[in-house]
Structure 1
Amino acid sequence: MSNYFYNKLWKTTYNDVEKLHTLDNAIQTNVISKPKEIVLTQILPIYLRYRNIIQRLIQCYDQIIPSQKRQFIKRLLDCSIARMLEYKREIVKLNCSEYEWFDDFLIKMKWTPDNIAISPPSSYTTARQKELEQRHQLIDSLIEKSELAKESENNLINEKSSTSTVELNPTSSSQAPSASPNNLSDDIINETDEQLLYNAILIIQSHERTRIGRANAIQIERDNLHNIKLKAGEIELKKVNTEEMEKAAETIQRYWRGYAARKRIEKYFNRVEEVLGMKISSVKNKSAMEKDQENFRKRQELQEQALIQIEDTINRERIKIFEKKSPTLKEDIIDEIHEWFNLWYDALGHFGIFPTVKAGGTILVATGQSLTPEEYFAKKNEPKEKKKKKKKEKKKKNLKKKNKDNNWIMPESKILQNVDEIKREFNDNWSLNNDPAHLNDQDDIKLIQNEIYYELQLKVREIVDELMRLELEQLNSALRKDHKHDKPKFKFPGMKKKEIDEMFNELVLARIIKNYPSVKLDQWMGDVSYQNFEAKKNFKPYQHRLGEIKQTIIDYCILPLGNKQVHSLAPLVKSICIVGLPCTGKSFLINAICNEIGALLFDLTPNNLIGKYEDKAGRKFLMKMINILARHYPPAIIMIDGGDKPWWRKLPPAERSMQPRKLAKLLPKLIKSIKRGDQILVLGLASEPWKSKKRFYKIYNKFIILPSTDYNTLYLYYQNIIMNYHGIDRNFDISSLTKATIGYPIDIIREAIENVLTIQRRIKLKFQPLLPEEILTELIKWTSPKDKVTRQLELFENKTPLGKKKLKISKRNNDKISTKR
């Protein structure tokens, strides 16, 4: 598609954003409390429009070339995602469910589910591609080095043991045969892989040539014998009947033409069914997808060229501005920090904590966001009980406001103010150039100069920060000397002891920081439910399907974690528990999330922590290292496979050796420390959460429950996986196979198909077609979970905070129906 199309798309999208923003402001300003039913009819259309706008903004950001415009679109996209997530939070509170079906609103808007489906932005990983590759290579190299070191240690131990045995048997060393089989095997092992391959090829070639020679010799002997017999008159040549030959040729041609015609018709109908989506070809035509990817790569190259051009203009302007303004600005900042030093020393007798570079450095001092001496003193001496009381009082007040008359009030949002600022900036700088015909937007020098002035502030502050840090260290060392003999010891806030690189290497070698396989969320198979809207409307039982899981993962895990701006604006979700029976795809989802956002993965599985940081001090230090590294390498995911085990009521003997309950005390502190903008998420995987105590339900903010496989999901999965094999009959009975295997996990089905369709079986497919019974016999070997386990998983949802609220609402609805009758 052309630049004209994407510029036109951007113009229409921005106009829709302005209209939606006015509607959103109207709801925000209208503070009058309303019943929940009326609120949902007002909120849901706005929520759906936000989803549609986000979809279009992602497309604009990925495809538009001018870099200044792309930065502006990104800011608007971040605000829109955060606001959409705020609306989702309110809808979840009102409906008491993480899943919603909007059939009535979609029909009114004349939309399909594809119009509101959001895919992860490509910008989440493309911008950090090189950094991620380097990190993965570093982790792999560290693991390889540790494994080589262990192997060398084992070899040394084996050599020592072998030398000791040789010393005990001196006769064995004297008798060393040169051509023993052991020596030959050692020689073969010492050979390189290339030499082994070369020798193997020579052996194969020599055997093949001798075989062909033998076959040719046998054929020559037969021909000679035949000629000798002909000359001797022992054999007579048969006379050829031309009429019989012509009849035979006609019959062959007739049958061949019929066969060819049937094949052509079959091919035509197969092609029609493929176009209609009734059949899947084993050989897929990827030309359209490849062209689309090529066009996307070309646009990325053009985006890089536009970046290079704008960088050249920025460099020219930067040189001019830096020469004029940097000396005076440097002196002003140094004076400002010296005043801050004096203020702390006069108030407390020591100097304050210098803000880190990542936090903002001296910018926090200049803007008054750093701790004042009074605040530091008050925090140090304030008892914990008062803090708890204040929090409880705040919670009670909020509950009273929200639950008054069982009505709903739209909470205030800072995002709308950010959108107002973005709109003002657009009207000031971009409104005149918002014409679709204006394809190649020229760089705006005024915007560049404003950015350079801001950059000048940051760069000069970085230089001053380094100087002031050195000066602060000298002042602190002088203070230590002055108060060396004081009793009790003189204490003041200090810096971190251990460097980040050392911590990273230590956790990689301990196998706590891990690499993950490259999988994408698009590979998640699952169909959505098509009857839940009607079932909910008629107060009938309904359940979400595997297709809805994908969108909840995008909304709660990928969109907030992938961008710092979104994470700082959107509702904060600190911890999520993915619940499901074994082999239902829980680990796949974590790997997909990590790949989509390029996250650093910490593995705190109890089984992985055996023999590592076993004492209390070690565990606390481990959590401290994870906390520091997760903030230094955002986004970060802290995975706990068996995230329910630390809170089990009774631990079986096999689990006791892992000591999972030690995490029960450390995890809550880690989760509490997560704040907006940190881009950290604790992800637990649970297979038997119903065994847990009540504390478990308070640890995780969200519970994503993986349902059992349904007919639609399995039909799609069978169709995709089986039809990829060449030679499978396109009329293979998938429907009966899906009906027989409803409830089977997808991982088990995949393993069964791989076990059945081996290379030997695929060779026979042409004359021995695959039957559904073959896959069923392989699936029967799997021991399915008991009915009690599946029932407990279904009942588990009612124990979660949202599930309890949902139960109350369903009881009220049932009471209303019974009174009407």
Structure 2
Amino acid sequence: MSNATYNKMWGEAQEALNSLLEGESEKALEPPQDQMVIFQMLATFYVKYVQIFRNLENVYDQMVHPQKRILIREVLDAVMGRILELKNEMVELEFSEFHYFDDILQDLKLAPDQLDIPIPKYFLKEKMEVLREREKVLAQILANAGLEDLHLKLPLKIMPLEEAVKLIQISERARQGRLRATFMRQIYHQDIREKQARLHGEKIPDIGNAAIRIQKFWRSFNQYKKTAKEKEEEMIFLGMNPSPHIQSFNNTLLSAQKVNFLRYEVQEKHEEDYKEALVSIKTNLKMLEGPDIKESLQDQIRHWFIECRNMTGTFPDYPNEEEGGSALIFSDKTPQQVIQDILLREVEEENQKKAKKEAKEKKEKKKKKEKEEKKEIKKIEDEERWKMAPSLFVPAIEEGNNKYKGVWRDIDESWNFPQGHDPEMIKEEKRKELESEIRVQVDELMRQELKNLKLAVDREREIPRKQKKKKDKKKGRKGKKGKKEKDLTPDRTLDSLYKELVEEGLLIKPLKVQLSEYIGEFCYLGTTLRHISIEPMPSLSDVRQLITLYGILPLGSQTVHEKAPLVKTLLLAGPSGVGKKMLVHAICTETGANLFNLSSTNIAGKYPGKSGLQLMVHMVMKVARLLQPSVLWIGDTEKTFYKKVPKFEKEMEPRRLKKQLPKIIKLMKPEDRILIVGTTKCPFEADIKPLCKVYQKIIMIPRPDYASRFVLWRQVIQQAGGKITKSLNISCLSKVTDGFTQGQIVQVVKGILTDRRVRQQKHKALTATEFITSLARLEPVYKEEEETFKTWYSKTPLGKKRANALSGADEKDKGKGRGRGKIKGKEKGKGRGKK
């Protein structure tokens, strides 16, 4: 697409954002009080922000104008943060991590695919060189330590040559035996046919009847082909089957990708030109306009000296550098206006002192009455009224929107066809910078000049003003903040720590897995089921969306991580094979994060003792902070919180990190882009209280539903080289595999679609029965196991709140929930629990 197209897309996104901000401000003045209406309002805002986010991400990725991209990036990060804030509001309102917007999508006439949150490409594009260097270093360390192919060497078994030859001979003899058996079977059937022909006698062929029979078979075959072709065309016309043009390789898609890559090259070139222009334009302004700016500032300050002397009789006091110098006085004002302001301030100060004394007496009397009344009103309002929590990102969105309106919306860019930088805008910015730099130099000169004037004219020395001592806030807060973390490795470099962690197997190389490879379908009946008080099982698409919101977006953007609702820990719970580890690797792949494996089996026997454990944790956190973003993965995390450690695992000490994890979480700050992710397939074996204290967000991953299995079967077969034909009934496979996980389906497909079977598809099409035989050997996830996960989740804090909300809990319990929320500032209980 052209530059004009992306400019138009940006304009449309900004207009949609402007109207959405107006809608938010209107709702903030008079917020609704019915819970259903509140959720509909929040969900509508959420869906609209997602659409704006999708458009802005596409524009930022392909826009080549460097100055426009700076503004788009600011708005993009703010919209990301606002989406997370709205998600947090919905979670606190409904006490559920999963929300369903099928009715809102229908009202807004949007497809389910448009609800998917895209992962900004700049997460990886801006640090691609750093990631490549890090991969080289990691590969070199693994190669030197002999650990690069350890996972491949372990399952291999060395076999003697004689035993290998025997196995080959046995398989070859078996193959020849099968061929001989089929050949003998053919001879046997041929003998039977000859015997029957001799018994019945040879019939005299009738040429006419033979011709009629051939014609009959040919016409039926020809008509069958025509009917099948017409049926296929009808299905393509109705949209039930994909067009063969879409299935085949499309050259237009390839050309579009080439254009995108060319735009990336233009982006880099324009960015380099822009950086060079920032330096060159500033140096030119300093040479050409610097002396004039210096002279005008000196004249302005001298004029101020003279006017103050004429008006007040004395020379004024010059502001210090800490106060801002002359910039504090001459903020877009003339010297006469400055003098008038000084006189007005003196008069106002005298009047304020008199007014304060009179007002104090009246206020003290009224304060007591007002405080009592306010307390009563607040209690009533907190119980009855719901208010949206204040946003940290809406002001940034409004600021970006105002910049767009004031600068870019009505600008004439007919001269800037290639969309390079605008030098006039750079000059305006650099003039301000240059003026502030020169002002510092001028202030030093004018302070000395003012001293000389006072000595020469008034014959008095300037008495230095006493600076107000600023109280050290840190001293008063020492008790609250606690002790700082001690550096146990002050003499060691980052490279040495990194190398040691890699060699010990604590820092591992993440698998390159995209989040889009986690296949799942949208839940189309979620809202309908919730209206009739039935809690639907979340779909895999909902799980993928939560991983994007809680894991990828905060780790990818520093501003989002610092201001958005902070998620430090994340727990993925579900049966074996649902893709928990895959999601951990996907988070690292999409954000370029380092992956630290702190599973109990991985740290067993490493860094023994309390001091060793402290050193290990300190090294991991130090490297994770310095090379952020980072993910700390704790696999089989239920072992860390065992109720009772099994006898055969006591030597491994699985509960080593139980006391360390809360300490690690306390030391994690908003500016530290570190996420602790735990995975578990047996969460009911752990003590639920300490587990829920450590993990802030708990996502239960279910087995795939029918729609997800249908999409999964189709895509996995095609990725493995299989061809979807009429003989392969995908719907039948999806029905039969109810209860089987994604991992089991992928395992079966890889086992069936070998290289030999893929080559045989031309002569022998794939059928569903081939996969069913392999599936019969696997154990599915039964309903009893699924129910145990549901009952366990109902015991978690959020699960309990959701159960109370569905069952209609007592008002006392709801009141307790409100009280806790007031402290946090974002409360779900301000009338939200009422339906």
Residue by residue over 1:670-727, the C-alpha shift from the partner in whole angstroms, topping out at 9 and shown as x without a partner, is 1222222321110111111112111101111111111112111111112223355456
Report what 2:602 is aligned to: 608
Pair 1:698-2:662 in alignment: no
Report what 1:224 is aligned to: none
* Cα displacement (A) at 1:38: 3.8
Task: Mark the CA change 1:564 to 1:323 in structure 2 (over 3 Å): closer, same or farther.
Answer: farther
Report if aligned partners of 2:638, 2:683 keep a CA contact under 8 Å in 1: yes
Report if aligned partners of 1:525, 1:717 keep a CA contact under 8 Å in 2: yes
Report what 2:572 is aligned to: 578
* Cα displacement (A) at 1:787: 5.0
Report what 1:36 is aligned to: 35
* Cα displacement (A) at 1:19: 2.0
Residue 656 of structure 2 aligns to a residue whose secondary structure is helix
Report what 2:521 is aligned to: 527
What CA distance in whole angstroms lies between the structure 2 residues aligned with 1:492 and 1:19?
47
What CA distance in whole angstroms lies between the structure 1 residues aligned with 2:713 and 2:111?
25
Pair 1:747-2:740 in alignment: no
Report if aligned partners of 2:66, 2:420 keep a CA contact under 8 Å in 1: no
Report what 2:256 is aligned to: 292
Instruction: Report the more deviating stretch, 806-815 or 122-131.
Output: 806-815
Residue by residue over 1:297-333, the C-alpha shift from the partner in whole angstroms, topping out at 9 and shown as x without a partner, is 121112122112212312313545789999xxxxxxx
Report what 1:470 is aligned to: none
* Cα displacement (A) at 1:253: 13
Q: How does 1:533-544 map to 2 (within 5 A)?
A: 533-544=527-538
Pair 1:737-2:703 in alignment: no
What CA distance in whole angstroms lies between the structure 1 residues aligned with 2:678 and 2:401?
40
Q: How does 1:37-436 map to 2 (within 5 A)?
A: 37-147=36-146, 273=235, 276=239, 278=241, 284-320=248-284, 404-405=382-383, 407-433=385-411
Report if aligned partners of 1:11, 1:435 keep a CA contact under 8 Å in 2: no
* Cα displacement (A) at 1:82: 0.5
Q: How does 1:477-626 map to 2 (within 5 A)?
A: 496-626=490-620
Task: Mark the CA change 1:767 to 1:313 in structure 2 (over 3 Å): closer, same or farther.
Answer: closer
2:8 maps to amino acid:
K
* Cα displacement (A) at 1:802: 1.4
Pair 1:804-2:794 in alignment: no
Task: Mark the CA change 1:252 to 1:507 in structure 2 (over 3 Å): closer, same or farther.
Answer: farther
Q: How does 1:468-483 map to 2 (within 5 A)?
A: none
What CA distance in whole angstroms lies between the structure 1 residues aligned with 2:4 and 2:410?
16
Residue by residue over 1:62-90, the C-alpha shift from the partner in whole angstroms, topping out at 9 and shown as x without a partner, is 12110110111010010111011111101
What CA distance in whole angstroms lies between the structure 1 residues aligned with 2:514 and 2:733?
27
Residue 647 of structure 1 aligns to a residue whose secondary structure is coil
Report what 1:347 is aligned to: none
What CA distance in whole angstroms lies between the structure 2 residues aligned with 1:492 and 1:123?
33
Pair 1:650-2:628 in alignment: no
The Cα RMSD (Å) is: 4.2
Q: How does 1:428-447 map to 2 (within 5 A)?
A: 428-433=406-411, 440-441=418-419, 443-445=421-423, 447=425
Provide the identity percentage: 27
* Cα displacement (A) at 1:799: 1.5
* Cα displacement (A) at 1:27: 4.2
Q: Which runs of 5 or more structure 1 residues have no equivalent in the other structure?
A: 152-181, 186-247, 327-362, 367-396, 460-490, 816-821
* Cα displacement (A) at 1:814: 13
1:11 maps to amino acid:
G
1:553 maps to amino acid:
I
Residue by residue over 1:126-172, the C-alpha shift from the partner in whole angstroms, topping out at 9 and shown as x without a partner, is 11112111111111110110118999xxxxxxxxxxxxxxxxxxxxx
What CA distance in whole angstroms lies between the structure 2 residues aligned with 1:671 and 1:138?
29
Report what 1:376 is aligned to: none
Report what 1:685 is aligned to: 679
Pair 1:14-2:17 in alignment: no
* Cα displacement (A) at 1:745: 0.9
* Cα displacement (A) at 1:100: 1.3
Task: Mark the CA change 1:766 to 1:113 in structure 2 (over 3 Å): closer, same or farther.
Answer: closer
What CA distance in whole angstroms lies between the structure 2 residues aligned with 1:614 and 1:434?
68
Residue by residue over 1:91-115, the C-alpha shift from the partner in whole angstroms, topping out at 9 and shown as x without a partner, is 1110111111123333333333333
Pair 1:712-2:676 in alignment: no
Report what 2:777 is aligned to: 781
* Cα displacement (A) at 1:539: 1.6
What CA distance in whole angstroms lies between the structure 1 residues aligned with 2:407 and 2:395?
18
Report what 1:332 is aligned to: none
Task: Mark the CA change 1:702 to 1:453 in structure 2 (over 3 Å): closer, same or farther.
Answer: farther
What CA distance in whole angstroms lies between the structure 1 residues aligned with 2:62 and 2:764?
49
Q: Normalized against structure 2, the TM-score is what?
A: 0.67
* Cα displacement (A) at 1:611: 2.4
Report if aligned partners of 1:280, 1:723 keep a CA contact under 8 Å in 2: no
Report what 1:351 is aligned to: none
Report if aligned partners of 2:727, 2:766 keep a CA contact under 8 Å in 1: no
Task: Mark the CA change 1:267 to 1:283 in structure 2 (over 3 Å): closer, same or farther.
Answer: farther
Report if aligned partners of 1:535, 1:542 keep a CA contact under 8 Å in 2: yes
2:599 maps to amino acid:
T
Report if aligned partners of 1:7, 1:439 keep a CA contact under 8 Å in 2: no
Report if aligned partners of 2:142, 2:148 keep a CA contact under 8 Å in 1: no
Q: How does 1:717-728 map to 2 (within 5 A)?
A: 717-723=712-718, 725-726=721-722
What CA distance in whole angstroms lies between the structure 2 residues aligned with 1:570 and 1:454?
32
Report what 1:164 is aligned to: none
What CA distance in whole angstroms lies between the structure 2 residues aligned with 1:63 and 1:702?
35
What CA distance in whole angstroms lies between the structure 1 residues aligned with 2:565 and 2:394?
14
* Cα displacement (A) at 1:813: 8.8
Report what 1:25 is aligned to: 25
Q: Which runs of 5 or more structure 2 residues have no equivalent in the other structure?
A: 151-159, 163-209, 291-321, 326-374, 438-483, 812-835
Report what 1:154 is aligned to: none
Task: Mark the CA change 1:4 to 1:786 in structure 2 (over 3 Å): closer, same or farther.
Answer: closer
Task: Mark the CA change 1:628 to 1:4 in structure 2 (over 3 Å): closer, same or farther.
Answer: same
Q: Normalized against structure 1, the TM-score is what?
A: 0.68
Task: Mark the CA change 1:772 to 1:424 in structure 2 (over 3 Å): closer, same or farther.
Answer: closer
Report if aligned partners of 2:741, 2:781 keep a CA contact under 8 Å in 1: no
Report if aligned partners of 1:601, 1:639 keep a CA contact under 8 Å in 2: yes
Task: Mark the CA change 1:732 to 1:83 in structure 2 (over 3 Å): closer, same or farther.
Answer: same
What CA distance in whole angstroms lies between the structure 2 residues aligned with 1:149 and 1:93?
46
Task: Mark the CA change 1:74 to 1:268 in structure 2 (over 3 Å): closer, same or farther.
Answer: farther
Residue by residue over 1:424-461, the C-alpha shift from the partner in whole angstroms, topping out at 9 and shown as x without a partner, is 443444343277997544534465357769999999xx
Residue by residue over 1:386-432, the C-alpha shift from the partner in whole angstroms, topping out at 9 and shown as x without a partner, is xxxxxxxxxxx9xx989941643222223223234334443444343
Pair 1:640-2:634 in alignment: yes
Report what 2:789 is aligned to: 793
Report if aligned partners of 1:124, 1:597 keep a CA contact under 8 Å in 2: yes
1:297 maps to amino acid:
F
1:117 maps to amino acid:
D
2:528 maps to amino acid:
E
What CA distance in whole angstroms lies between the structure 2 residues aligned with 1:150 and 1:98?
39
Residue by residue over 1:596-617, the C-alpha shift from the partner in whole angstroms, topping out at 9 and shown as x without a partner, is 1111111111111122112111
What CA distance in whole angstroms lies between the structure 1 residues aligned with 2:104 and 2:771?
42
1:308 maps to amino acid:
E
